[in-house]
């Protein structure tokens, strides 16, 4: 198979495979391993303070001389408003689990994202080659500034409307996120239920609607998914869950085991971890917190208030109170080093493409 697409030319990578940025899970080692293998490694920097982000970028550069991406959340999602009454109600809900896990008092919400302006300034100063962002509205000035240093900008859309808005804002590549995807739904321009289109339906519609390369994301776990996405018109794929079992990432061992044992029925889109819809492996927290979903604090306060419970759960190797983001393809995750995973994906794509050439003979006139 020819691995070259519009995307590989634009991003100067060998294979049209992007390892998804995963805030809290991606590491410089993961990013560099993917980029060194010819894919595009991406670091999820949304919750990384600016000074640390600079160290991360320098560490990636020490490990690879290939292109890589750094991802932030659009600045609009950093702040939220809620009353002390709402906070008191949610603290009360958390208290019983804190007591059960001896996690101490429920903490006050603090800022855990950004600040975008300072993070972004670091990325500009470090002249990162590729910037991507999740959520919206699009930070138009930031996109322009990235372009002035010759860098490319990628952003996620969950429907055609969002894809058009992002292209209008200057984004170079659209990541079309189907509802199978692990992690947060990036929906920003419509109600959430209008941004839950499956990958196979979403990709061709976005491809038809915009003139820039489209990357398919959501439920793509192996070469079958990659070839299918290319057949749907995508120029490449972005895969997150497939990299969750790689040893280079930064997830707790209980989370890794939940990924390796995950089944097709195990994930759910829920707002209870963060205040925004995200796909995660169902656990006790999801089941019990769903009763209080109307009282969940807005994003990102809900993630912040849950930080001590997640930490206690992790320390006790208890998967029941950790936000284990994962997509619907989780059962297909393989525990391979990231570089080997890229090599295997590329080889398998070549084998599938060759087999498909034989299969599509059936469409030749007179073949029956």
Q: Which phi and psi angles does 86 have, rounded to 5°? A: -60, -40
Task: State whether residue 49 is helix, strand or coil.
Answer: coil
Binding-site member from 327, 338, 342, 345 for ligand FMN (CB under 6 A): 327
Q: Would you list the DSSP string of 53-108?
A: HHHHHHHHHHH-SS-EEEEEE-GGGS-----HHHHHHHHHHHHHHHHHHT--SPPP
Residue 115 burial (C-beta neighbours within 10 Å; 0-12, 13-18, 19+)? middle
With a CB cutoff of 8 Å and minimum separation 6, the contacts of 16 are 3, 5, 7, 8, 215, 226, 230, 235, 236, 237
For 224, the token pair is: 């079958």
Which string of x and - marks every residue 71-90 that binds ligand FMN (by CB under 6 A)?
A: x-------------------
- CB of residue 244 to ligand FMN, shortest distance in Å: 6
- Closer residue to ligand FMN, CB minimum distance, 5 or 156: 156
> E strands along the chain, which residues?
17-19, 41-44, 68-73, 130-134, 152-157, 173-177, 183-184, 214-217, 236-239, 267-270, 278-281
Q: Which two tokens stand for residue 212?
A: 């820039």
Q: Could you tell me the strand order of the sheet in which 278-281 lies?
A: 183-184, 278-281, 267-270
Cβ proximity to ligand FMN: between 182 and 195 the closer is 182
Query: Of 22, 203, 286, 296, which one interacts with ligand FMN (CB under 6 A)?
Result: 22
Q: Is 23 in the site for ligand FMN (CB under 6 A)?
A: yes
Pair 26, 72: CB distance under 8 Å:
no
Q: Least distance from C-beta 306 to ligand FMN, angstroms? A: 16
Nearer CB in complex with ligand FMN: 115/295 = 115
Residue nearest to ligand FMN (CB): 240
Of 62-70, 76-84, 299-307, 325-333, the segment contacting ligand FMN by CB under 6 A is 325-333
- On whether the CB atoms of residues 345 and 16 are closer than 8 A, the answer is no
Instruction: Report the residue number, 197 or 217, with the smaller CB distance to ligand FMN.
Output: 217
Q: Cβ 220 to ligand FMN, closest distance in Å? A: 6
Find the binding residues for ligand FMN in span 195-234 (CB under 6 A). 217-220
Stretch that binds ligand FMN, among 31-39, 80-88, 117-125, 322-330 (CB under 6 A): 322-330
How far is the C-alpha of 145 from the C-alpha of 140, rounded, in Å? Answer: 9
Binding-residue pattern over the window 237 to 256 for ligand FMN, x denoting contact by CB under 6 A: -xxxxx--------------
Query: Is 20 a binder of ligand FMN (CB under 6 A)?
Result: yes
Q: In the numeric block, which tokens belong to residue 315?
A: 């320390």
- Least distance (Å) from ligand FMN to the CB of residue 194? 17
- Touching ligand FMN, residues 123-182 (CB under 6 A): 134, 156, 177, 180-182
Interaction between residue 28 and ligand FMN (CB under 6 A): no
Q: Which stretch binds ligand FMN (CB under 6 A): 117-125, 228-236, 287-295, 321-329?
A: 321-329
Local structure of residue 177 (DSSP, 8 states): E
Report d(CA 139, CA 330) in Å as an integer: 32
Distance, C-alpha 250 to centroid of its chain = 14
| Comparison of 94 and 243: residue with beta carbon closer to ligand FMN | 243
Q: Which of 17, 222, 325, 341 binds ligand FMN (CB under 6 A)?
A: 325
How many chain residues interact with ligand FMN (CB under 6 A)?
28
Structure-block tokens of residue 334: 């393989």
The contact set with ligand FMN (CB under 6 A) reads 20-23, 25, 44, 46, 71, 134, 156, 177, 180-183, 217-220, 238-242, 325-327, 329
């Amino acid at each position: 198979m020819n691995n070259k697409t519009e995307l590989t030319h634009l991003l100067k990578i060998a294979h049209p495979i992007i390892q998804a940025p995963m805030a809290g899970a991606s590491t410089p080692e993961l990013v560099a391993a993917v980029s060194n293998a010819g894919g595009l490694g991406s670091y999820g920097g949304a919750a990384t303070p600016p000074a640390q982000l600079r160290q991360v970028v320098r560490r990636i550069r020490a490990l690879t001389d290939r292109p890589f991406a750094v991802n932030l959340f659009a600045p609009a999602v950093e702040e939220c408003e809620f009353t002390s009454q709402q906070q008191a109600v949610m603290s009360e809900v958390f208290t019983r689990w804190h007591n059960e896990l001896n996690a101490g008092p429920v903490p006050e919400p603090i800022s855990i994202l950004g600040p975008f302006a300072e993070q972004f300034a670091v990325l500009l100063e470090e002249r990162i080659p590729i910037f991507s962002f999740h959520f919206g509205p699009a930070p138009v000035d930031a996109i322009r500034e990235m372009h002035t240093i010759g860098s490319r900008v990628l952003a996620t859309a969950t429907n055609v409307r969002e894809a058009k808005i992002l292209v209008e804002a200057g984004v170079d590549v659209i990541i079309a996120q189907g509802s199978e995807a692990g992690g947060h739904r990036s929906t920003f321009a419509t109600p959430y239920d209008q941004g839950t289109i499956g990958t196979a339906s979403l990709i061709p519609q976005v491809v038809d609607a915009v003139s820039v390369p489209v990357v398919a994301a959501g439920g793509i776990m192996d070469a079958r998914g990659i070839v299918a996405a290319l057949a749907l018109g995508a120029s490449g794929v972005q895969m997150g869950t497939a990299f969750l079992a790689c040893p280079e990432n930064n997830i707790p061992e209980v989370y890794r085991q939940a990924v390796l044992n995950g089944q097709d029925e195990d994930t759910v889109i829920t707002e209870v971890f963060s205040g925004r819809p995200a796909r995660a492996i169902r656990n006790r927290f999801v089941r019990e917190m769903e009763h209080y979903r109307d009282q969940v604090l807005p994003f990102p306060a809900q993630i912040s208030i849950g930080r001590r419970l997640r930490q206690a759960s992790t320390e006790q190797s208890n998967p029941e109170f950790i936000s284990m983001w994962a997509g619907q393809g989780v059962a297909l995750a393989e525990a391979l080093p990231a570089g080997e995973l890229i090599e295997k994906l590329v080889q398998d794509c070549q084998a599938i493409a060759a087999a498909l050439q034989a299969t599509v003979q059936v469409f030749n006139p007179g073949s029956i």
